[in-house]
Amino acid sequence: VIGAGHAGCEASLAAARMGKKTLMLTMSLDAIAMMACNPNIGGTGKGHLVREIDALGGQMALITDKSMIQFKMLNTSKGPAVHSLRAQADKRKYHVNMKQVIENEKNLDLKQAEAISIDVENGSVKGVLTRTGGYYEADAVIICTGTYLKGRIYIGEVNYEGGPSGLFPANALSQSLKENGILLKRFKTGTPARVNRDSIHLDKMELQEGDKDIVPFSFMTESINIDQIPCYLTYTNESTHHIIRQNISRSPMYAGHMESVGPRYCPSIEDKVVKFSDKSKHQIFVEPEGLDTKEMYIQGFSTTLPEEVQLQMYQSVEGLEDCQIMRPAYAIEYDCIDPTQLKRTLEIKMIENLYFAGQVNGSSGYEEAAGQGLVAGINAVLKLNGKEQIILDRSEAYIGVLIDDLVTKGTDEPYRMMTSRAEYRLVLRQDNADLRLTEKGYGAGLVKEDRMVRYLEKKEILEKEISRLKHTIMTPKPEINSYLLKMDSVPMKSAQSLYELLKRPELNYDKLADIDINRPELTKSIIMQIETQIKYEGYIAKQFKQIEQFKKLENKKIPEDVDYNEIKGLRIEAKQKLSRIMPDSLGQASRISGVSPADINVLMIYMEQKKRLRESNE
């Protein structure tokens, strides 16, 4: 595994835990699981990814639970489908905890070395060459290089070769990938400045405290009891915007020095001021980077303006008037691959046993990287063992949506996961990730017995309690109806089960406690799942019908040796797109931009004709 960021960590641990002798190469041992940008894990859509990583047997959630300093459940005013966990993490603690896990994994060797070349023979990967002349034979290689490939840092008029957080770039590996026929793209991302806590006036900012009740990220964590550290909220103002407009020509983005594409959903402050010129202020969150540092992360203030301009505009913000910048904001340009060259297993199509995961695939974010790393690690081992690789489809996991979007549609900007990208989000909730994926992880060989036992116990409790609620009948006795009126609910005219009563929007599991004499002791997470399953039963059933339709196309597999140029009736654009993407199913083919429903019908008829011909020959 090349790279020790969030993708590399999950890929390495998965491969080692599934029994393969694994080597992790990293430019610096101090960069393992580094949070080069924001000091948090989770968030809208991303919290779902972390839960899914955990359910499949990954590590990110467990490390987050050990490293968090503040917790929030986002979107609680909306439906359960978009509830998302988010934690502020202690950056240093996250790195230390992950490094310890990696060092203690018996099948995993860790080495500080720069990979400069991939050795490929007869269309299959054979090994990796390092800068110091080391050669490592490998049955499979997973590339998780993040933003290091030919990294270039931009701060105003200054730009130079560099990796994230002052580390070295990886300049040689890109050339090796090109020589092996892999198409590269150029993307960029950025990060705001870090300022000294002692130099800012927190009393002038709005306090942002964590939730009282902490919900662990990992299904294996019983509970979390910590003294949470607050964050703070302040705003830019007209003075800030004036400074930015005056100096906009000194931004390398606006001066035309950077041609690469940045993340749409994490714009720089210059972009915000230019594109949303009607807004008089923008939110700025001030977040601690850890318990043992005075560095504060200034979220929402990413910029590529010169250092002296950064100081001016930061100091124009209320509470930051005297701030001292410890690390300036910067943008980083880097090489990544065109992800449409990948199969949905994350193996590249033209080189056998070579996998890619994380930001090198054109995504952004720690969580997106970790999810891909986990899938790449699992699949590399399954393939070497001669077993069927796992493909998580769009109806099974947010990880499936992420990978399918990247390899089927490609991306022209760093991809970010959001709940709106998932068509079946009422089924793909963060609270039921274990029910969706634990058995898959167990079948692959990554989920161990202790997790499987806990999962089966939870599943049994849920099924048993839902059955009890269905079979516990309430009759319209005066005392029952009086209680319902007290709860602002309509009295019963005929007998109803507790299950039916729970469908009423004004009632919940706890409100029925006084009339439910046989109620068992259950955890909050199980109660929430029960309520969600009951209250949204009709919608969930409707979504499962949609998934059935989706599966019909998804299960129609396309032979690997199909020649699309042979198929009469396909439009030229469809032939070109299908030949390039090489979809593995009619479902995936239907999601390729430029392939129409008419093309899918032609392809379906062609496949049916081939099937009949094959059967008649047999």
- Write phi, then psi, for 460 (nearest 5 degrees): -65, -45
In the three-class reduction of DSSP (H, G, I as helix; E, B as strand; rest coil), residue 278 is classed as coil
pLDDT in tens, 498-526: 999 999 999 999 999 999 999 999 999 99
pLDDT band of residue 323 (cuts 50, 70, 90) is: very high
Share of the chain above pLDDT 90, in %: 95
Give the mean model confidence (pLDDT) for residues 250-261: 86
Strand duo 135-137 + 330-337: pairing: unpaired
pLDDT in tens, 208-221: 999 999 999 999 99
Give the span between the Cα atoms of 527 and 533, in whole angstroms. 10
- pLDDT of res. 115: 98
Q: Would the pLDDT of 99 be above 90?
A: yes
Share of the chain above pLDDT 70, in %: 100
Give the mean model confidence (pLDDT) for residues 99-112: 98
More confident call, 405 vs 614: 405
pLDDT in tens, 489-502: 999 999 999 999 99
Contact 179, 392 (CB under 8 A): no
pLDDT in tens, 175-202: 999 999 999 999 999 999 999 999 999 9
Residue 361 tokens, joined: 């695939």
Q: Would the pLDDT of 615 be above 90?
A: no
Angle at which helices 6-17 and 91-103 cross, to 10°: 30
H/E segment holding residue 399: helix 398-404
Residue 1 tokens, joined: 């595994």
- pLDDT of res. 497: 97
pLDDT in tens, 30-67: 999 999 999 999 999 999 999 999 999 999 999 999 99
pLDDT band of residue 91 (cuts 50, 70, 90) is: very high
Q: Would the pLDDT of 253 be above 90?
A: no
Q: Would the pLDDT of 617 be above 90?
A: no
- pLDDT of res. 611: 86
Q: Would the pLDDT of 260 be above 90?
A: no
pTM for the full predicted model: 0.95
Residue 125 tokens, joined: 């990967």
Instruction: Give CA torsion, residues 232, 188, 90, 210, to 10 deg.
Output: 40
Contacts of 433-437 with CB under 8 Å at 24 or more apart are: 433/48, 433/51, 433/52, 433/54, 433/55, 433/219, 433/397, 434/51, 434/54, 434/55, 434/219, 434/458, 435/459, 435/462, 436/52, 436/55, 436/396, 436/397, 437/52, 437/55, 437/56, 437/392, 437/396, 437/397
Q: What angle do CA 256, 259, 263 make, to 5 degrees?
A: 115
Closest alpha carbon to 12 in 286, 349, 381, 325: 381
In DSSP terms, which residues pair with 142 in a beta bridge? 355
H/E segment holding residue 466: helix 449-471
pLDDT band of residue 307 (cuts 50, 70, 90) is: very high
Give the span between the Cα atoms of 499 and 467, in whole angstroms. 9
pLDDT in tens, 599-610: 999 999 999 998
pLDDT band of residue 527 (cuts 50, 70, 90) is: very high
Give the mean model confidence (pLDDT) for residues 115-124: 98
Token pair 């701060």 in the structure block, residue: 155
**Mean pLDDT computed over every residue of the chain:** 96
Residue 384 tokens, joined: 């070497």
pLDDT in tens, 567-591: 999 999 999 999 999 999 999 999 9
The amino acid that residue 606 corresponds to is Y
